[in-house]
Amino acid sequence: MVPRIGRCSAAWRGRACGRVMVPALSRQCLPAARPRWASSEAPEPSQHPRMAELLDVWNRYRGADLFSETPSDVCVGFIGKRRNVGKQLSFADLTTPSGEVIQICSNAESDVAAHEKFRQVPAFAPVGVHVHLEPPTPTKHAQDAQDPGSSKQTVYLRDIRLLNSVPRELIVTPDVQFPQTKRHLQIRFHPELQARLRFRSWLKGVLSQGLLEKGFTDIETPTLFKSTSEGAREFLVPTRQRGTAYALSQSPQQYKQVLMASGIARYMQWARCYRDEDLRADRQPEFSQLDMEWAFAGAAKVKQDVNDIILKAMSALLPSQTYKDVRGERIPIVADIPSDSATDAEDAHEFTTITFANSIAAYGIDKPDLRIPNRIHAMGDIEPIRNFVGMITHLPDPLVEAFTFPLKDCSPAEARKFVIKFMDSLPSSLSENPDGKPQVLIHDSSQPLSGFSSLGFEYRNILDLVSGGKEMTDGDVVVFQAREKPTGQYCLGSTKLGELRNALWKTLVEEGYMEKPRLGELGSLQFVWVTEFPMFKPVEEGEPGQGGAAGISACHHPFTAPLSNKDVELLFTDPLQAKSAAYDLVLNGIEIGGGSERNHIAEMQEFIMRDVLKMTEQRIQDFSHLFEALRSGCPPHAGFALGFDRLVALMTDTPTVRDVMAFPKTMKGEDPFVQSPSKLSNEQLAPYGLQLRSKGKLA
Ligand code: ASP
């Protein structure tokens, strides 16, 4: 193989600096004078047959010489499928490392040998290409050498070199899907996945910059931590000191609080967190948080700073041109994000705040999706509709709640058909609610009392209450549900009606009866802070909680402070009624972050652990480092962690965090690409003083 690439002339270089070529060519250039890919340059093969073979392939594909010197007329990248225009003329796209796509034209008339080589190169291979920047002369086909319809910059082949082999069986079509065992091909050939990873990287940079500008210090804390009862189930990492183990950090919570006692007033970290949790609800055993903590600050400061950094990112994405359809999914394209962000766009997004109790009352859930119109209303006085209530529940003194949805272009008959299908497909948790089934009524002016005769002659007042006085039209649905009248603070995250409302909206949107703003449009990302959460909840089965004997566990985590004096008093009398100074940030109905004001006074922290949660002395002792730090003059502090994977997923139009991670785990916690976790042998376990036992022998 004789290389035919020589140093380019100054004139060529001048042209190489054209608009499109610069990024592609400027970094990847051959040292032109002495091409080093000549076989004569290869070292003498030794006698060893394998060595000769290896050296051959090494020298053939190595390409190191391509990457070291100044630009001229060589470009590198992945070549696409070749398009032949007869025998003499061929084209192929080259995707350069910068993401730019240029078109290579090969013309047998200007060089038969190079053309032949070009036609041998398999699609999708990494290549180095020596090019003419303008049609070589003489060539008969110079004018024809454009692929009709292509707007890409065209360069003209002088030589091409393959930089690695490609499997022959690799078939890539525009809608190709690869299995997760081929994650590298997914990333390479699923453009939506690459677009999401690029956006993720961009967003990370913007959020970091926002915090650094506010004076935050980025501090890394250990992920090899120790086992403490913070709330989530941990992953243990045995050590070679017999009987000891680290626990992988479920969050940097304790370290960041210690940093507050250490005089770091503003802490931030991109933290990897590890939780051995149920993975069904789109969770990953390891995930990323943007973790933050503020000294001498409370909830208001935390919310303000978090709003600021998110709005800064959002403002760069508006107006919506940065969102593009990539294989049917709406993703912001980083290359299209303007460098000077439109500041007025910040006004386009607004962060609402709602208390937990109001969120349950209005939306039946502590993660309200503010894209869903209309709220839930409680029927204060059910006497006038007693008969109707008797039909929907057997509870003697229930709380009856209802909401209405307007359906778009939907006749009552069509609405009825939809409702029957929807109700039939409800999960049993909603359809077999022991408090009574949900009741859906449809506005139909052709019917007596517009289809609401079961409500009796009071129906107008009821409809006014449910619709907030808005006029209803035919096909609109009204959904009623009864539940136990709460005697104290509601401790669960949702009501059945709230769950039903979310599910109904989702299905109505899918079927085109209601609208959801497209990502990139105003109102498509709805942020809401939820505050004043209950401090504790009854321990749920399978949840490790804090392992206390009181049968309750902290809703957020045990370091969260009570909200007010009244709540401190409730800790002594009825902890389940106490509110905490915790807050969540919710985006489109999904929790994307949580935080709280902390117990910075050791006495309060110990009281909560020992007297309220009734944790054992041993478990309390596990936190002795924290007590020590709190006692050393730790200032009041508050913090927050943003679930970064979820935020990116929501902003890039995917329901699963797996789509925004390069190497996610499956719902079984496995990575099919590297095949982890892998089985351990007794030999591997021995240094840790561990041994595998057959199942039956386990204690
Ligand atoms: N460490 C908490 C969490 O992981 C966040 C916080 O309270 O700052 O949810």
User: What CATH number is attached to the domain comprising 425?
Assistant: 3.30.1360.30
567 and 511 assigned to the same domain: no
Q: Domain with 93 in it: what CATH number?
A: 2.40.50.140
Q: What is the pLDDT of residue 660?
A: 98
Q: Domain with 614 in it: what CATH number?
A: 3.30.930.10
Does the pLDDT value for residue 312 go beyond 60?
yes
User: What is the rounded distance in angstroms from the CA atom of residue 227 to the CA atom of residue 246?
Assistant: 7
Q: Which amino acid is at 158?
A: R
Q: Are 124 and 62 in contact (CB under 8 A)?
A: no
Ligand 1 atom closest to Cα of residue 252: 1
Q: Best mutation site among 249, 284, 291 for ligand 1, i.e. most ligand atoms within 8 A of its Cβ?
A: 291
Q: Are 337 and 322 in contact (CB under 8 A)?
A: yes
Q: Are 553 and 379 in contact (CB under 8 A)?
A: no
Q: What is the pLDDT of residue 520?
A: 82
Ligand 1 mean position to 291 CA, how many Å? 7
Cβ–ligand 1 distance for 252 under 6 Å, the answer no
Q: Whose CA is nearest to atom 1 of ligand 1?
A: 253
User: What is the rounded distance in angstroms from the CA atom of residue 350 to the CA atom of residue 357?
Assistant: 21
Average pLDDT (671-694) is 93
Cβ–ligand 1 distance for 359 under 6 Å, the answer no
Does the pLDDT value for residue 454 go beyond 80?
yes
Cβ–ligand 1 distance for 269 under 6 Å, the answer no
User: What is the rounded distance in angstroms from the CA atom of residue 379 to the CA atom of residue 400?
Assistant: 6
Q: Which of 515, 546, 561 is the last residue of a domain?
A: 515
Does the pLDDT value for residue 32 go beyond 50?
no
Cβ–ligand 1 distance for 640 under 6 Å, the answer yes
Does the pLDDT value for residue 57 go beyond 60?
yes
389 and 500 assigned to the same domain: yes
Q: What is the domain extent for residue 127? A: 61-162
341 and 381 assigned to the same domain: no
Average pLDDT (609-623) is 95
306 and 391 assigned to the same domain: no
82 and 21 assigned to the same domain: no
Q: Whose CA is nearest to atom 8 of ligand 1?
A: 640
Structural domain total, the chain: 4
Residue of 315 and 485 predicted with greater confidence: 485
Average pLDDT (496-515) is 97
Task: Report residue 183: phi and psi, to 5°.
Answer: -60, -35
Q: Are 472 and 404 in contact (CB under 8 A)?
A: yes
**Domain assignment of residue 43, yes or no:** no
Q: What is the pLDDT of residue 255?
A: 98
339 and 206 assigned to the same domain: yes
* Tens digit of each residue's pLDDT (9 = 90 or more) over 410-441: 999 999 999 999 999 999 989 889 999 999 99
Q: What is the mean pLDDT of the chain?
A: 88
Q: Are 492 and 580 in contact (CB under 8 A)?
A: no
547 and 447 assigned to the same domain: no
Q: What is the pLDDT of residue 24?
A: 33
639 and 541 assigned to the same domain: yes
Ligand 1 mean position to 641 CA, how many Å? 5
Q: Are 118 and 82 in contact (CB under 8 A)?
A: yes
Q: Sort 6 into a burial class: Cβ within 10 Å, 0-12 / 13-18 / 19+.
A: middle
Q: What is the pLDDT of residue 208?
A: 98
How many angstroms separate the first and last alpha carbons of the chain? 68
User: What is the sign of the dihedral through the CA atoms of 167, 172, 178 and 184?
Assistant: positive
Ligand 1 atom closest to Cα of residue 595: 7
**Domain assignment of residue 184, yes or no:** no
415 and 538 assigned to the same domain: no
| Residues linked to residue 639 through DSSP beta bridges, in sequence order | 293, 596
Q: What is the pLDDT of residue 66?
A: 76
401 and 489 assigned to the same domain: yes
Does the pLDDT value for residue 336 go beyond 90?
no
**Tokens 């999401």 — which residue?**
196
**Domain assignment of residue 180, yes or no:** no
Q: Are 645 and 264 in contact (CB under 8 A)?
A: no
Cβ–ligand 1 distance for 253 under 6 Å, the answer yes
Q: What is the pLDDT of residue 5?
A: 33
**pLDDT level of residue 695 (50, 70, 90 thresholds):** confident
Helix, strand and coil percent figures for the chain, each rounded to 5:
35, 20, 45
491 and 381 assigned to the same domain: yes
Share of the chain above pLDDT 70, in %: 88
Q: What is the pLDDT of residue 7?
A: 35
Share of the chain above pLDDT 90, in %: 71
The mean-pLDDT minimum among 50-59, 228-237, 337-346, 543-552 falls in: 337-346
Torsion of CA 601, 606, 611, 614, to 10 degrees: 140
- Return the structure tokens found at 276: 């051995």
Average pLDDT (330-356) is 78
* Tens digit of each residue's pLDDT (9 = 90 or more) over 96-141: 998 899 999 999 988 999 999 999 999 999 999 999 877 876 555 5
Q: Which of 491, 515, 539 is the last residue of a domain?
A: 515
**pLDDT level of residue 22 (50, 70, 90 thresholds):** very low
Average pLDDT (449-471) is 91
Q: What is the pLDDT of residue 544?
A: 79
Contacts of 699 (CB under 8 A, 6+ apart): none
Q: Which of 248, 256, 245 is nearest to 232 (CA)?
A: 248
Q: What is the pLDDT of residue 44?
A: 58
Contacts of 447 (CB under 8 A, 6+ apart): 412, 453
Q: What is the pLDDT of residue 174?
A: 87
Q: Are 332 and 652 in contact (CB under 8 A)?
A: yes
Q: Which amino acid is at 306?
A: V
**Domain assignment of residue 6, yes or no:** yes
Q: What is the pLDDT of residue 33?
A: 39
What is 495-542 written as a DSSP string? -HHHHHHHHHHHHHHHTTSS--PPTTSTTSS-EEEEE--BSEEEPPTT
**Domain assignment of residue 682, yes or no:** no
207 and 314 assigned to the same domain: yes
